[in-house]
Chain A
């Protein structure tokens, strides 16, 4: 079945540093790919998505490109802020409107 693997955290960065969170997937067919973010004490929120190969999803300075050849969907941001501290989840479609989530990567940004 479909699955997703994320880099283990926590990732600790200083403010304005460059962020990369790795995500690779295994899937049959052509899944859609997503990044969700969970701020402390809250539910998950959709951050960005890509529905086909070579698509780039972007939102709030974050971006990720759907790479079919490497089965990857790495999340990047050029300059992180303290307010970006959260847990980030990579996900892909796994059937009728169902999502399969990775284990999550905690990001801590220090001033």
Chain B
């Protein structure tokens, strides 16, 4: 009963380092999403993928890239981390029912 699995759970980077956040879902969902959560700002959409092979920018895509590797996996890459990217990152997937998202448990990222 895994649902949406994110790795790692915690990460500390230095400014300029790169890293990839991994996300996988086992519910056969077409749509997948990456959000960031910052205090007082709620969740903001970084990128989403409506289906395998497609990706689109969300509200705050600058500084990030994504890959929809297959139907299960959707990764988020920071090429050159900046302190402004310190946040909690959530991956989510959805079935066809509008608005019903299933979230992973998050990755807490600190960029020093």
Contact = CB atoms under 8 A, between A and B. Distances in A.
Among B42, B58, B100, B105, residue most surrounded by chain A Cβ atoms (within 10 Å)? B42
A43 B104 contact: yes
A89 B105 contact: no
A41 to B, nearest CB: 7
B75 interface: no
Task: Classify the interface of chain B: helix, strand, loop or mixed.
Answer: strand
Interface string A38-78: 00011111100101000000000000000000000000000
Interface residues of B, number: 25
A99 B35 CA distance: 10
A97 interface: yes
A101 B42 contact: yes
Interface string A19-42: 000000000000010101000011
A: interface residue count bin: 20 to 34
Contacts of A104: 42
Given A36-B101, A51-B98, A101-B44, 20 more contacts: A34-B99, A43-B103, A43-B104, A43-B106, A44-B90, A44-B92, A46-B99, A46-B101, A93-B98, A96-B50, A97-B31, A97-B50, A97-B94, A97-B96, A97-B99, A98-B45, A98-B58, A99-B99, A101-B35, A103-B40
